[in-house]
A and B are shown apart, each in its own frame.
Chain A
């Protein structure tokens, strides 16, 4: 599904932006290790204690988050699963010696058994091999769409947030337009207009899907980055840098962007799962990737006929499980990263 309405992302935006620029509570926590004790924060009201200085070396947010993540089993599990899928996408031969496109009708719909541990599909293809090889399209689409959307949305969002004015107004309206068209719907129409030619090679097909999904997915990132930049811009350290004569490019590059990167990272990881699902949904509807390319969505679609569900449920279960597991791994990663970056969650 498209995730234009993803509250995970919303929450991140608020929590992260609130947390990032102000590192004081974080340092205090390290000093005191008792959050409830740090109620008296202000020390600018005349006569105060002299001893309350922050002495411990302030650690960077990323470093801190990493320390936190390292100790979470969930992080390692999710990372391991994601890694397995990325490996399968890059080197499917590592996992299976079978050819996913070698199909023999003799084996049609045979259930799982030694040698074909996931069974065979309607055409007699080995489901395990198809599941392994299917990772490539999904992972490629997921990663590339995320990157392209982050690039477009990040760039335009930073510009709009930093420059403001008419440019911001125009860009925001354009983002609104793309935001108001549900991604899946738009992608359906787009692929009906310009179907991937049958027999197209994987890179050609993936590029088209990535572009279509990214065109309707970037407003998410745009809004986030714009908000982050607008929040960061009036921060005192940015003002200070500007007062010291830092050029706008330098300001954006060394102060504003680094502080907005964490929410971008988290939202991108969440969106990644959404894009994988969107691609699979398109394949499920018979749009998107041509049938010559091994992909989970299409295999699931082919296995979804009621007769098959009744008689050969394994045809549906294995590719579906792979799809869900891959998405779950990325969503969990984003969850762990967000928790680690959010001081409130500890």
Chain B
């Protein structure tokens, strides 16, 4: 197991370097001058621009800049953005909000997704099954920003159940955005759970459980379920990584000052230090979650060995 983790960690290094380089390269190539608008109404003087570029290392060749960036990264420093704020700090004040969103989304995946999948799987071919199968397809087909608009329209404006936007990021304000953010993954989790449960209910070992004299409660609830839920659990784990990037749109629709909002803003403001830092953290989270999920899989399913 230890060996497996170490090998996977080593394999992550080139992936991480490649991903950061792509992001770094893309961001640096962004047109537009970060000094625009820094000197009031007038264009900045050449001296100011030169000083600015020297200060942020923009006068160096790209690959050198990347090297310097990586070196600083090793010390846990994501740099200072053009507005003189530490990127780490910018992220740190926004991650709690985005994490809250993710927590709500994951709770939905577990509570709604898994139970809908189980219900549909057990009552296969019945009304509830068709309902789950069709409604999840519909949810998958609705983009987050449409779903967000609809939720605002119905639950915010018509019914007044939830605030239409979530400015200060309290749990209550984040419920609706969190559900919207999680909806796609709720649908996937439900379908995944259903498919696996249906497969496992027909499995030979479930018949064995009946042949051993077990009642359906135990044959399904323990024997089939244990096998069926392994992919769902690991999928939910993996979805956390995707949630952070999905938050860009959700946070924009609901006007939430989270990491997604920060990314969106830094693109518009050509603030590439912040942008690279934010994306880098997302990629890192995503990669570590993938690793954790793989390890978890090995624990949950004895057939998958990590030697």
Inside 8 A of B282's CB, which chain A residues have their CB?
A: 182, 185
Asked whether any CB of chain B lies closer than 8 Å to the CB of A80, the reply is no
Return the chain A residue nearest B138 by Cβ: A328
The residue that A185 contacts in the complex, of B141, B157, B248, with Cβ under 8 A, is B248
The residue that B275 contacts in the complex, of A189, A303, A310, with Cβ under 8 A, is A189
CB distance from A151 to the nearest CB of B (A): 21
Q: In the complex, identify which listed stretch (A3-11, A55-63, A118-126, A159-167) lies at the interface while the others stay far away.
A: A3-11
Inside 8 A of A182's CB, which chain B residues have their CB?
A: 242, 245, 282, 286
Q: Known interface pairs A184-B248, A185-B279, A335-B137. Does A304 touch B149 (Cβ–Cβ under 8 Å)?
A: yes
Q: Known interface pairs A309-B149, A316-B153. Does A177 touch B143 (Cβ–Cβ under 8 Å)?
A: no
Check B144 against A193 for contact (C-beta < 8 Å). Answer: no
Q: Known interface pairs A7-B235, A310-B157, A313-B153. Does A1 touch B144 (Cβ–Cβ under 8 Å)?
A: yes
Asked whether any CB of chain B lies closer than 8 Å to the CB of A23, the reply is no
The residue that A328 contacts in the complex, of B31, B141, B252, with Cβ under 8 A, is B141
Inside 8 A of B184's CB, which chain A residues have their CB?
A: 1
Choose among A4, A177, A178, A273 the residue with the greatest number of B CB atoms under 10 Å from its CB: A177
Return the chain A residue nearest B239 by Cβ: A5
**Majority secondary structure of chain A interface residues (helix, strand, loop or mixed):** helix
Interface residues, chain B, CB within 8 Å of chain A?
Answer: 11, 14-16, 18-19, 22-23, 26-27, 29-31, 137-138, 140-146, 149-150, 152-153, 157, 164-165, 184-185, 188-189, 191-192, 195, 199, 231, 235, 238-239, 241-242, 245-246, 248-249, 252-253, 263-264, 267-268, 270, 275, 279, 282-283, 286-287, 290
* A/B interface sample: 15 pairs, CB < 8 A: A1-B184, A5-B241, A7-B235, A8-B140, A181-B22, A184-B245, A184-B249, A185-B248, A189-B27, A192-B30, A192-B267, A193-B26, A193-B29, A328-B141, A331-B137
Interface residues, chain A, CB within 8 Å of chain B?
Answer: 1-2, 4-8, 10-11, 173-174, 176-178, 180-182, 184-186, 188-190, 192-195, 273, 277, 280-281, 284-285, 300-301, 303-304, 306, 309-310, 313, 316, 320, 323-325, 327-328, 331-332, 335, 344
